[in-house]
Amino acid sequence: MVCGRSSVVRSYSRLDDSSMPKPSPKHALDPALIALGEAIRSMRSARRISQEELAHRSGIDRSFMSSIERGTQNPGVMTLVQIARGIGVALSEVLSEAGL
C-alpha cells in the first residue's frame, strides 16, 4: 500500500501524546524567532493566505506553522524555504522583513 505524505504525517502524530509541537527548548521565544514568526504571519496575511493553507502549501503541519509564527519553534533552513515558497516570495524577503 502506498501512502501519501499527509497520511504518514497524520499517522505519526497519532503516536504522539501531545497535540502541539513542543517548544524549541533552547531558543523558544528568542527575539529573532519572534521577529521571523511575525514576518511570516504579516506576509501571509497580506496575501490573504490562511495559516492552514500556508501549512498545506509548505508541506508542514498546521500546528507546527502556528508554533513558528509564535516564535516557539526554531525551523530549519529547508522548512523556511518551503514556507517562503508557499507565500510566493524568496527566503531573503522573509528574512529581510524580519530584520535578520
Give the domain ranges of the chain.
28-98
Contact at 8 Å (CB) between 71 and 24?
A: no
18 to 12, 15, 21, 49: CA distances (angstroms): 12, 9, 7, 27
In tens, the pLDDT along 51-90 reads: 999 999 999 999 999 999 999 999 999 999 999 999 999 9
Question: Does the reported pTM lie above 0.75?
Answer: yes
In tens, the pLDDT along 24-46 reads: 778 888 999 999 999 999 999 99
One-letter amino acid at 11 equals S
Nearest to 37 by CA among 60, 66, 79, 78: 66
Fold (topology level) of 28-98: 434 Repressor (Amino-terminal Domain) (1.10.260)
At residue 19 the predicted structure's pLDDT band, cuts being 50, 70 and 90, is low
